[in-house]
Structure 1
Amino acid sequence: MEPINYLVQLGGVARTAQLLAAGFSRTDIAHLANKAVKQPRRGIFMLPDCRPDLAAAIRHNARITCASAAGHYGLWLREPPGQHHLACNHGHGTGFIRHRTVRFEGHPSLPLAAIEDVVLHAMSCLAPPASTALATSAIRLYGVPLELLKDQLAGDRSGPALKALNQLDLRAESIVEVDAQYVFNANGIGFETQVQLPGIGRVDFLIEGYLIVEVDGFAFHSSREALRRDLGRNNASTLSGFAVLRYMPEHIWFEPERVVAEIRAALSRRPGVAG
């Protein structure tokens, strides 16, 4: 393999030591300079289209973590961070958010923190529901043990992070469901999640045994069959005496006050409730 192809596999950036460890000679590495490879600093080789977070990690002898690692692992995070989140045990460098405590072995070839450290850093750094959505997805997608996270945070004076972990509902199947739970909890709305209703199927939320709330993802009604199925569910819900409210992610994220007001209005109209 050519060293430039290996550089591509690494995301477009590497140190001389990493290239040497992969079996390339110093002559091979020297030839990279003739192939449009940049050297922002001695000992660092970078392709023009290198990912900025990878470049920052290599430059600062650090690993990508927290919100910056979400895209690499496919974790749930609504908005990319404004600054790079890097894990390092030194105090050098500026212009990034520093996470000092590294507990687990990172990625074998990329400057990427282990998934466990990514979650632990996020729980102590990000506010809910961003932190809880990221943690929920790591547990669901990678099997990160919840008890491991709690144990690791127990001695770090991480009361808020531990409280958030204790409130995780791992039945959530998407980031918007986690965010909806946060909105409901913040406004004192009690709910059940992923409830199986006879003749209707599984619903995202059931509130006070009467109101079904569905939060539809980006693929909602992506086919005629999906539309027909959901119309049938809506009709079955009405015929069974339930009220139904449906929301897109944008409603939960940008109009939570409207969502809460509509839920309360629907609950006030249920049978047996005085007007």
Structure 2
Amino acid sequence: MDLHDAIRTLGGLAPAFALLRLGWSYNSLSYAARHGVIVRIRQGWYALPGIDELLASAWRVGGLLGCASAARTFGMWVPPDDRLHVCVPPRHARMRTAHDMRVRIADEPDPRVRIHWRRRPSSDRYRTTPEACILDLATCFPAEWVLGAVDSALRLGLIRRSALPELARRLPAASRWIADAGDPASGSFPESVLRGLLIRAGIGFRIQEWIDDMRVDFLIGDRLVIEVDGREFHGAHAGFEHDRMRDAKLSVLGYRVLRFSYAQVVYRPDEVLAAIRAALVRNDHS
């Protein structure tokens, strides 16, 4: 078995002690690292060349990918966030910076790295579990944003409905409602966010309703349709024209349409709720 095979059998990231048991010596590991045959992630840990830099950064810090960083690798819908989220056990004292294993993070604090102090329930050698991701997301972001992660985890089969009561028990009190509200029928992250906003505002709605041959994102009452752009940058000409064609057809059928962008729903929720409440006051929904 060559060194690459040895590391591969250990999950692609191997502690030195495990490689020593397989017959490799410290000298051979150091030689291989110096010549680029393997990558030394941090003291006593080695990986295969080409390892994903995000994963390498988390291990260099000293933990597992967690929160938004791990959730994204599962395909879960997550809030827009550029930080590296790392889950480390309590009282961890040997953390390094994400970019240099020789520099202690205590000596060079990095605002781009968010540490989550948690005993590490791992999905694999690199990531925390989807449930742990949701618990950590709830400490970083508004509950409406975290609802998107719950919806997508259900949609992808990463968590089961039977696990939601236990998830609710472990969530912060202010966020427990998202476990009950989780719905795999949600079509996108901003739709999940808007659904959460409507729930908290006490506004009744139905999702993914069919009107004629069109499926709409939200229907409030009998006549008020709410549509949400599913991408942050939703401006392609064909998509724009299709949306306006739908809006015109719904208007002909007697519906009032409110359409909101990704940015409005995610970053300016008060603006969205104000517009919906104004439509309700005008009885646009009945």
TM-score by shorter chain over 0.5: yes
Matched AA of 2:220:
I
Matches within 5 A, 1:69-84: 69-80=70-81, 82=83, 84=85
3-state SS in 2 of match to 1:194? strand
Q: Distance in 2 between matches of 1:175 and 1:250?
A: 11
- 1:25-77 superposed Cα distances (whole Å, 9 cap, x missing partner): 336534323324664643233669852553333552x3222222122212111
CA-CA distance at 1:144 after TM superposition: 1.0
Structure-1 separation of matches of 2:191 and 2:131: 22
Q: Could you tell me how far apart the structure 2 residues matched to 1:255 and 1:127 are?
A: 13
Relative to structure 1, the CA distance from residue 115 to residue 169 in structure 2 (aligned partners, 3 Å threshold; closer, same or farther) is closer
Q: Could you tell me which of 229, 233, 237 is aligned with 1:216?
A: 229
Judging changes above 3 Å, is the alpha-carbon distance between structure 1 residues 59 and 236 closer, same or farther for their aligned structure 2 residues? Answer: closer
Q: Which runs of 5+ in 2 are unaligned?
A: 96-104, 106-113
Distance 1:12 1:123 in 2: 30
Aligned to 2:110: none
RMSD (CA atoms): 3.8
Residue deviations 1:130-154 (CA, integer Å, cap 9, x gap)? 3221121111113411221322553
Paired residue type of 2:118: R
Provide the C-alpha distance between the structure 2 equivalents of 1:6 and 1:173, rounded to a whole number of angstroms.
42
Q: Which structure 1 residue ranges, 5 or more long, are not aligned?
A: none
Q: Show the counterpart of 1:67.
A: 68
Out of 182, 196, 209, the position equivalent to 1:168 is 182
Q: Is the 8 A contact 2:150 2:178 kept in 1?
A: no
Amino acid at match of 1:247: F
Give the Cα–Cα distance (whole angstroms) in 1 for the partners of residues 284 and 190 of structure 2.
Answer: 30
- Looking at structure 2, the residues matched to 99 and 272 of structure 1 have their Cα atoms a distance apart, in angstroms, of 47
* Secondary structure of the corresponding residue to residue 77 of structure 1: coil
2:204 matches 1:190: yes
Distance 1:268 1:254, change over 3 A: same
AA aligned to 1:141 is L
Please state how far the C-alpha of 1:205 moved relative to its aligned partner. 0.6
> What amino acid is the match of 1:56?
A
1:265 aligns with 2:283: no
Matched to 1:162, the amino acid is R
Give deviations 1:66-96, integer Å, cap 9, x for gaps.
2221222121112226452314365434655
1:115 aligns with 2:130: yes
Equivalent residues of 1:206, 1:212 under 8 A apart: yes
Distance 1:134 1:264, change over 3 A: same
What residue is the counterpart of 1:98 in the other structure? 116
Distance 1:98 1:269 in 2: 46
In the alignment of these two chains, the number of paired residues is: 265
Q: Distance in 2 between matches of 1:203 and 1:157?
A: 31
Q: Structure 1's 233 and 200: CA in aligned 2 closer, same or farther, altered over 3 A?
A: farther
Aligned to 1:132: 147
Deviates further, 119-128 or 233-242 = 119-128
Match of 1:246 in 2: 259
Give the whole-Å Cα distance in 2 for the aligned partners of 1:10 and 1:176.
Answer: 39
Distance 2:141 2:126 in 1: 21
Q: Contact conserved, 2:154 with 2:183, CA < 8 A, in 1?
A: no
Distance 1:163 1:267 in 2: 25
CA distance in 2, matches of 1:234, 1:111: 45
